[in-house]
Structure formats: structure tokens, C-alpha cells
Amino acid sequence: MLSSIPFSLLELAPMIKGDSVSHTLNKTTKYAQRADQLGFNRFWLAEHHNMPGIICAATSILVGHIAGKTQRIRVGSGGIMLPNHSPLVVAEQFGTLESLYPGRIDLGLGRAPGSDPVTSRALNNDMSRAENFPGEVTELQTLLGPYNGTHPIRAIPGEDTNVPLWLLGSSLFSAQLAAQKGLPYVFAGHFAPRFVHDAIALYKREFKASNVLDKPYVMLALPLVAAETDEEAQYLSTTLKQRVLELIRGKELWLKPPVESMEGLWSEQERAHVENFLSLSVVGGHVSIKHKLQMIAKELEVDEFIFTNDVYDSEKRHRALEILMEIKH
């Protein structure tokens, strides 16, 4: 079953405190190159602002850099937070990327700010932009499609590049919009698993065929910690747990080394919050991970998986990619 499901990666360029941005991005590049060699389908980069520990603010620049340093893998945004950007600028940027790397660029779109309210205002004074998300997606489709002879604004480059659009979401809103527009849908199970069943069911139920898709296509984002044994994976997963704990506390999100136990680091309430946040996480050795992914694929009928892989040690992070590919066959 897993052999027929593409595996992809979502990257936030996690940074260790005291490390440099240059070194962090170099590690992300090597990680993408390893994914390319191993046969992963896509390598997507997120958009986050004002978050120490996450070096993923200038998403389109990183997409271009990774595409230029890899050979085959599709590269894209997971996602561009559209309320922060002019649709015209996004069309020009991704049209340029598609022209440089034909057939390899994806444009995933979200409607969240990707930051806190103060930073959101610094990015865009008009806080009502998110409400016009459906209209701006339509505008992007027009700008990236063939020129219709009447539209007063044209994306040059961008026009007629037909960069594939994906809608990302963690609630029912984007699921419904993706269904109405006949676009592929990505559910953010890596941080908001609560509505996973409802959102995917709604998307499939209300899907209308379009000129890009004749049937629904669901990609599910999952947090991954793969290792040689279940015990090692549980140990390595404390890096991810510490990061989620800092997130819910509103603290900086540096990548921290794993610890033998989380006891004493969190309260009982915080533990419950972190475990709920990570309820779709896939943690373990070969057998455990294969079993869990098969169960999820069967239950939710997903077409593709996209994994976050927050592991402190780069070698073990790369090894997780190898383990993923080993369980596919």
C-alpha cells in the first residue's frame, strides 16, 4: 500500500541556538539534496515570521535556492501565507521560479498570518485580507493562467506558467474552498490534528472536478521521528516535544537536544496539550512507522504524505529519510 503513496517533506529550517543562519540553511540544502537522491516527491518550505529558531521567512527565495541545488524533486511553498503578500508579486515570483525550473515548482497557499498579530500588522496593515482569501486565490489562478485578453493586470513572468496551486489548512474553511475550486488539499496534521477526519471528509464530499483535477487529491502533513528502534525514536522525539512546549508557552523555538525524560520540564496540563498537538505524530523504528502509516493511509484514504522531521542531529535526520524509503517497499 505505501509503495504507491508518494512521500514528501515539509521544511521549517530549524535552527540550533548559537548556530548561524548560513550554517542552518546549508544543512537544509543538504537535507533537500539527500531527499532528492532518495526519491522523495516534493520538498516544501513553510512561511513563518519573527520566530527565533525557524529560518523560513523568505519562502520564495528558499524555494529557488533549493530547486537550484537539486535535480529532480519538486520544490514549493508549504505554504505562502497569501494575506501577507500581493497576489501579483506571488504570481511573478513563482512564475519566475517555474520558468527557471520547469515542471518542478508547487505553490501551496495558506490564509493564516504565519506569525503573531503584531508581526502580522508589520507585514500587512489590512487585517481583513484573510477574509478575501477565496478572491485572492482566484486572482492568482487568473494571473498564472493564459492571458484572457481583458484582464488589466498581467504577471510577466507568471502568465501561462500554470504553476500548480495547493490549498493548505487545519480547519474546514480551506477544505471547502479546495473542494469548490477543484484544487488539491493539504491538511496540516503536523500541528492541528483536531479536524483531520472532518476536513478530509468534507473536501472529498464536496469536491467539484476542475481543469486541474478530475478527482480529489489529499496530502496529509505529519510529524515524523524515525530511528533504528522504537526506544531511540522516543528519545529523539523529545526534541520535537520541547519545541511544541516552547510554542504553547510563547517562547523562542530553538531546536534543542533530546533528553532522557520530559518529566520536570512540563506540567501535567502542558503534557496533555503537547500530546494532543502531536496526536498524529509517527514515531518509531521501521515496523512501528510502517504500521502507523498504513493505518492512517487506510483510515483517511490519503493520496500523499508530507513529513516534518525535527531531529536535532543532522545524521539522524538524514537516516530518518532512508528509513522512510526502506518501509515503502
| 162-220 tens-digit pLDDT | 999 999 998 899 999 999 999 999 999 887 788 999 999 999 999 999 999 999 999 99
Over residues 101-112, the mean pLDDT reads 94
- Whether 175 is covered by a domain: the verdict is yes
Note the pLDDT of residue 149: 83
Q: What is the dihedral of CA 73, 79, 84, 86, to 10 degrees?
A: 50
Helix (H/G/I), strand (E/B), else coil: 37: helix
Question: How many domains are there within the chain?
Answer: 1
Share of the chain above pLDDT 90, in %: 82
- Only one residue has cell 525535527, namely 310
Q: 20: burial class by Cβ within 10 Å (0-12, 13-18, 19+)?
A: exposed
Over residues 261-271, the mean pLDDT reads 94
What does each C-alpha distance from 318 to 23, 34, 38, 63, 325 come to in angstroms? 16, 7, 10, 20, 11
* Residue 313, pLDDT above cutoff 90: yes
* Residue 8, pLDDT above cutoff 70: yes
Q: Which domain holds residue 198?
A: 2-225+302-328
Residue 8: closest CA among 88, 101, 106: 106
- Whether 249 is covered by a domain: the verdict is no
- Whether 274 is covered by a domain: the verdict is no
CATH code, domain carrying 207? 3.20.20.30
Helix (H/G/I), strand (E/B), else coil: 267: coil
| Cβ(189)–Cβ(293) below 8 Å | no
* Residue 119, pLDDT above cutoff 90: no
- Whether 281 is covered by a domain: the verdict is no
Note the pLDDT of residue 16: 94
- Whether 15 is covered by a domain: the verdict is yes
- Whether 128 is covered by a domain: the verdict is yes
Note the pLDDT of residue 244: 94
In 3-state terms the chain splits into helix, strand, coil percentages (rounded to 5) of 45, 15, 35
Over residues 113-132, the mean pLDDT reads 66
Tell me the average pLDDT of the chain.
93
- Whether 239 is covered by a domain: the verdict is no
Q: What's the start-to-end Cα distance of the chain, in Å?
A: 9
Note the pLDDT of residue 193: 82
- Whether 235 is covered by a domain: the verdict is no
Note the pLDDT of residue 68: 98
User: Taking the CB of residue 117, how many other CB atoms lie within 10 A of it?
Assistant: 9
One-letter amino acid for residue 42 of the chain: R
Residue 174: closest CA among 111, 219, 220: 111
Helix (H/G/I), strand (E/B), else coil: 87: helix
What does each C-alpha distance from 312 to 20, 27, 229, 285 come to in angstroms? 15, 11, 17, 17
Share of the chain above pLDDT 70, in %: 95
Note the pLDDT of residue 317: 97
Over residues 100-118, the mean pLDDT reads 84
Give the distance from CA 169 to its chain's centroid.
Answer: 10
pLDDT in tens, 76-91: 999 898 988 899 999 9
Note the pLDDT of residue 315: 96
* Residue 148, pLDDT above cutoff 60: yes
Note the pLDDT of residue 33: 98
* Residue 14, pLDDT above cutoff 70: yes
Confidence of residue 92 (pLDDT cuts 50, 70, 90): very high
H or E element at residue 282: strand 282-284
Residues 6+ positions from 229 with CB-CB distance below 8 Å = 285
Note the pLDDT of residue 132: 83
